Structure 1
Amino acid sequence: MSSGPTDSPVDVHSPVAEHAVEIATARKDILRIATAGSVDDGKSTLIGRLLYDSKAIFEDQYEAVERASKGDYVDLALLTDGLRAEREQGITIDVAYRYFSTPRRTFILADTPGHVQYTRNMVTGASTADLAIVLVDARRGMLEQSRRHAFLASLLRVPHLVVAVNKMDLVGWSEDVYESIRDEFSAFATKLNVPDLTVIPISALHGDNVVSHSANTPWYEGTTLLHHLEHVHVASDRNLVDPRFPVQYVIRPQSDAHHDYRGYAGTVASGVLRPGDEVQVLPSGLTTRISAIEGPRGPVDEAFAPMAVTVRLTDDVDVSRGDLICRPANAPQPTQDVDALVCWMADEPLRPRQRIAVKHTTRTVRAVVKELAYRLDVNTLHRDPDAGELGLNDIGRVRLRATQPLFVDDYTRNRVTGRFILIDEATNATVGAGMLTPAG
């Protein structure tokens, strides 16, 4: 695997980075959230509470939930558990995406399952998240699943982690219980790569400390959950120094009026692009300059992640889907040898010498599994070098040999160009997800 770009580490204080942060902050930010926790910790209830208290549901939806609820309280979990099997069993099975907004920020929330057999769903939900909420039942404290979800969040480099100590009403709003869980989780987080940890005592059922401060926790001086979600700073988490633009589509209108037009459409993976910038196209290595950048509403002065734009070049160079536009002095190292942590998502195990397709950004190549270095126990962090295969929901270090070069960065540096999915060529099904992290 490549060692990454040739320039110095990311400098979020550079003029380019600071300017892009200002622009991202000026827009109404989007915060992507993944929730996780053990079974019955109250994830779906918490999400229902956020939706209800932020007025993101219609009156008829609430009335339907009210009618379907059993007991003295409205079961807000029914707002999110959409599958019949989820409602019948009272658990979350699929990854459910929910959208809500406040005047300050828009939220995309992934409700991921808590069961161990749905580890792949947790990986799916957290792979694009800016923040992860791990729920802990105050009565039970940290469980094995809590540790597993915290580890997966750190493995997927989710920059911000919130531990919501739920059901505080069932332990008499005990400060000692809260502090015990906070200290235990903080000690565990020091073993992981968790740059930002916040622990909040809540009751999702009653709404305490979810949107407004609770009189039941006078000893808690921190923010409410929604206030934290609204104000957590995520613009500087994005890589604004390494320009990466995977080409998704070549635009060539057939009309006579635009017969000279050639544009390259895609989503900016990282960095900042401006008209006039010198760029390099991989894999050809040809250099040219950007003549114009066009967004959905017309020309733009600059483009940064995650903007979807069309880039036009001054020279008529050969560019196709799957190519990468970057800077000549800041280019990823093309490689055919891929060394990555892989979460396996198929019933049929992954084994050495297996042939598979790798989709990395917009580029798809064929590959063969050269070696399974070890299988990782996400509960104990133990590595099993004698494992002969990866089964469903297993995570392990896998070495692949691709038929064509891929333009990769370390996942620790760039979460877009540092990840890929594995595809079964026979069924076209996604069977794995990989992160290009250095062996350590």
Structure 2
Amino acid sequence: MATPARAFGDEALSAFELGFRRSGDSLRLPLGKAWNVRFEEAEPVRPFRWAKGGESFAGWYWAVTTVDHVGYESWLERDRLILLDRDPEVVGIASQPFWLHWDDGQGQRRHAPDYFVRLADGRARVIDVRAADRMDERTEEAFASTRRACEAVGWEFQQVGTPEPVFMANVRWLARYRRDRSGPSAGLAGAVPPAVVREAGHRSGVRAAGNGEPGPGREAGVVSQLKRPPRVVVGDRVRFSGQLRGVLAVSAVALTLTDEEKSHRVVPLLELFEADDFEVVGTPMRMPLPPASLLETFPAAVMEKALWWEGHILEVMHGLPPGAEPGTVPRPEYGPDRSLTARQRAKAAELTEAGHPTTSSTVAHRRRSYQEQGVIGPADHRPVRKTPRFGEADEAVVEAMRQAIDEAVDASARTEAAPSSFSQFSGAGVMRR
């Protein structure tokens, strides 16, 4: 069995390469430069086909999570896709997201994982699907190398097989009712008699708005849309009952929200999630840290400054700095009623007054860098930026020129044809004294 490439520290960041497609272009980068690409938005690196008489069945599944089709190459992959689509922690899914390239000691290898998943807390997960009885030595090597590459950049790796049949059959049956067609439709309002809806609700859990009677803004007999409850944490900004509010406390049954007319308002979760205008506007989620091997390339003072910026950026984005105590209320200039532009201006004024002159455009630039790259985004990259020794010239060309010069110096003083060392790059020529 060949030994997979070592995947820890800086070696892995160059030992593995990722080939992927973005905006119709094919790209290939070292793992260390591609770890922060949003692969949940990547295009599949290979098409989904099936052959007559083949054992696999490929297709496209409409995922509610992505509001788009996601491809699969077998029914086993389709079942895993259905499970991912119902997982409340999953916010992004892409199939066949990239080619992983490496050298196994005997030659070049490549492998395309089945899924790349983005979780609500920012973590990334790479998934390979294969039934236990279909595993062979070559597949095990590919999965082992994929796991090592994922560990090097802080991604999770999962190798999954066949789910429990009865459980999967029930999930497949339930999945169809998460589609938009299962929700209210203006064209079908009143098509189902209220009595039928009430009876169906008693037997299957499907219910009408109220007890068959039209509620505020609802038509009689329209079935409530099935939707996933959002994830809400302290510090979130939410829109509810015509106001933009901050979340002050969260319990198992209610949220405590800011209120314009009084100090706070306690709202039961059921009332909140069923409100037509309720939505989570922003969440104080810290970006995941890059792998330790990348952090170690920055001087300690640079990383300390980047972490200092992170605290200010999070306050601009979400109203509260990291580590805020439960129940902390955002300062007025960073409250949920202030726009992002206004909060950036407030932060620039605050830093300037504290002896750190800056502008709102600088704060906006740092924020965007943080959202795209995490904590290393706002960091000063100049200490780790390396200038090529020979500028834009290929090192092979430079080496050939050196060899040609050395041979010319050793030759006799008379004019002679240049040695062939450089001819592979520039053609045979004549070097004169």
Which protein shows a greater Rg?
Answer: 2
TM-score higher than 0.5 here?
no
**Higher helix fraction: Structure 1 or Structure 2?**
2
- TM-score, normalised to structure 1, is 0.27
**Higher strand fraction: Structure 1 or Structure 2?**
1
- TM-score, normalised to structure 2, is 0.28
Structure having greater relative contact order (Cα 8 Å, sep ≥ 6): 1
